Structure 1
């Protein structure tokens, strides 16, 4: 049996991958006027990639789905401190890493059982920090 939080983590991973898989214009529209740090996005995705290993062990993801998450994690690990500084909206337009991450994120969504048409994650309310 999967722990109760697995379904939530699986959904959050799928939604974040949907955001990473989206075209730059869609990502920027999702961001709107929010000022989201690139470093925060990198940390969140790295965490989801690590947590997905355990999710796969418990059956929430197929082991073969992890190939793309690992590729995303490796690419993110290659983003240096300079690339993690500043706003994600700026990095989306200038850092080729985000375009490179799009392909494995799309492949992950296509190979993961369930609805591959995940909605984008709800934006974080910058005043309360909640979703």
Structure 2
């Protein structure tokens, strides 16, 4: 199987960041609309970031953007684990400091890359 083109990988990453950057009520609406749990937001970023790791240099991202992407990855990883289950509830999206920090970092990356952080949240297809 061939790897997706770098432009497609970039699109996936920007889409994942768009969901991370959204206000908590918009994130909750997105979760409800797609009938997924809050961890889907982090999983989408995780997969997109892993797919993009090999080509981010080609995109000539600023060092600050790369640092912010890595920081988002670290924060979401640190929020993992059974002892942090409450951080993955929909309610936590508006109250948890980790989510607030990830939101700020995602917004900063989107502004640096796209000139704005607000956009329509992407549609996803969930295979069950």
Indicate the TM-score class for this superposition, using the shorter chain for normalisation. Answer: 0.7 to 0.9
Bigger mean CA offset, 12-21 vs 105-114 = 105-114
Corresponding position of 1:32: 32
TM, length-normalised to structure 1 = 0.73
Does structure 1 residue 20 correspond to structure 2 residue 20? Answer: yes
Gaps of 5+ in 2: none
Corresponding position of 1:107: 108
| 1:23-54 superposed Cα distances (whole Å, 9 cap, x missing partner) | 11111122235442344433332232233321
Q: How does 1:62-73 map to 2 (within 5 A)?
A: 62-64=61-63, 65-73=65-73
Bigger mean CA offset, 70-79 vs 23-32 = 23-32
| 1:65-85 superposed Cα distances (whole Å, 9 cap, x missing partner) | 211110100101111312357
Q: Distance in 1 between matches of 2:60 and 2:89?
A: 28
Q: Distance in 1 between matches of 2:87 and 2:99?
A: 14
CA RMSD of aligned residues (A): 2.9
